[in-house]
Amino acid sequence: MQAMVVDVREPSEFATGHIQGEVLVPLRTLQGGCSSWNPDQPITPVCVTGRRTEGTMRVLNCKDLSRVSVFAGGMEAWRADGKPVVAPGGAK
């Protein structure tokens, strides 16, 4: 089963560029936003630098979603590695 990539940034941050196929669920809404997720689904949260993933891990673990792997360095590391980013308007 492929990991669900969850962007926990705010919509304005997401709009600056995001990973193709990821789901936007801002950290402030994660508590309710993850209630229907499959506990067997691997989850990879992403933010700007990786700092918000600590809070994300706490929320997901409390919801019995424990198959979580953090993308170290967040979107800054993703971009630094030259990986593709979907820009505003859908351009890559």
Cβ burial of 6 (10 Å; 0-12, 13-18, 19+) is buried
Query: What pLDDT is recorded for position 47?
Result: 95
Phi, psi of 6, deg, nearest 5: -115, 120
Ordered by start, the domain boundaries in the chain are 4-85
CATH code of the region 4-85: 3.40.250.10
The string over 38-72, giving b where at least 16 C-beta atoms fall within 10 Å of a residue's C-beta and e elsewhere, is eeeeebbbbbbebebbeebbebbeeeebeebebbe
What pTM was computed for the model? Answer: 0.89
Each residue's pLDDT, cut to its tens digit, for the chain (92 residues) gives 899 999 999 999 999 999 999 999 999 999 998 989 999 999 999 999 989 988 898 899 888 998 999 888 999 999 999 999 998 765 55
